[in-house]
Amino acid sequence: MTDLRAGLIGLGMMGRHHARVLGSLDGVELVAIADPGGDRFGVANGRNLVSSVTELIAKGIDYCMVAVPTGLHEEVALELAEAGVHTIIEKPLAHDTASSERIVAAFEKADLVGGVGHIERYNAALQQARIRIENGDLGEILQVATRRQGPFPGRIADVGVVKDLGTHDIDLTAWVTQQEFISVAAQTGFKSGRAHEDLVAVVGKLSGGTVTNHLVNWLSPLKERTTVITGEKGAFVADTLTADLTFFANGEVETTWDEISQFRGVSEGDMVRFAFSKPEPLRVEHENFRDAVLGRPADIVTMRQGLATVRVAEACIESANCGQVIPV
């Protein structure tokens, strides 16, 4: 079988990693790379290096990875859709809802495979949590709480922490619970002198009744990527920095103290840290998109799901601006 001909536009911090994975992906030939700034990380490895998406399309690509700044997503995506090129776009799908809607409409009209690079979905810890939740290991999901913090990445200039880091948590929460956000309330902070927010605290409500909480910032020397999923049978703690998943079971020890025995809570039970394979999330993401383009069974973040995430992110910003709970 002939390899799929892939293209990549954008050779920034993420683009260089996409180049590495696409250049070694089974069934795929990375035929050309586009970046008007050239190959500053030295990852092209002799492949065609061009300066625009138009030149990239002219190389005869089947699909494209878009890793340009968020503000350029719509322009690049619409040209790829017009050319009939299947496309995966680094998250978020676009800088706002209106732009995201135009991208979705273009790819659906052209009947193309379109995806969004929400890489956290492919972290082994969250993949395992999703499988175990579907198997009923937690029972009803009561709450999802995430913490995502670390130092400011100087490469991010056109969006704030909500649309950059926060969209990870919005997407993974909706996906791992298989529920949609129905409302959010948020507070943001502007502490680093930039035009965009650099910290956010969000409380959300999902369609199945699950309550969520998301703490995200660019102001901490501590790098943390933690998701706690609490259900009626216990709680999962996923650390996506180490790809570890730990289960804290509800205890079944009888309480004989009358004053607290009436409380319908839980006690501490067994704790298990699961062992499982931990493949690189970026490679798993690309393997799934390759399979989707080939018409095989695949788990991709669709553009319509990416649009839903942008809507929630904008609702968070609106809530912080007006001080009200915003329905999604």
Condensed to tens digits (0 to 9), the pLDDT of residues 265-307 reads 677 788 999 999 999 999 999 999 999 999 999 999 999 999 9
What average pLDDT score do residues 85-113 get? Answer: 98
Domains within the chain, CATH numbers bracketed: 4-120+283-300 (3.40.50.720), 121-278+309-327 (3.30.360.10)
pLDDT, tens digit (0-9, with 9 covering 90-100), for 151-202: 987 666 678 999 999 999 999 999 999 999 999 999 999 998 888 999 999 9
Q: Given this model, what pLDDT does residue 176 score?
A: 97
Q: How confident is the model at residue 256 (pLDDT cuts 50, 70, 90)?
A: low
Confidence of residue 247 (pLDDT cuts 50, 70, 90): very high
d(CA 252, CA 31): 59
Q: Is the pLDDT reported for residue 263 higher than 80?
A: no
Q: Is the confidence at residue 114, as pLDDT, over 60?
A: yes
Query: Measured in Å, how far apart are the chain's first and last C-alpha atoms?
Result: 45
- Alpha helical stretches, state H, the chain: 13-22, 53-58, 73-82, 97-109, 124-134, 161, 167-177, 258-261, 281-293, 303-322
Name the pLDDT band for 260 (thresholds 50, 70, 90): low
Closest CA to 138 of 71, 237, 66: 237
Contacts of 276 (CB under 8 A, 6+ apart): 124, 128, 245
Q: Nearest to residue 43, comparing CAs of 62, 60, 24?
A: 24
What is the overall mean pLDDT for the chain? 94
Which of 68, 113, 73 is CA-nearest to residue 93? 73
Query: What predicted TM-score, i.e. pTM, was given to this entire model?
Result: 0.93
Instruction: State phi, psi for 122 to the nearest 5 degrees.
Output: -95, 5
For residue range 204-238, what is the model confidence (pLDDT) as tens digits? 999 999 999 999 999 999 999 999 999 999 999 99
More confident residue, 252 or 107: 107
Cis, peptide link before residue 92, omega less than 30° from 0: yes
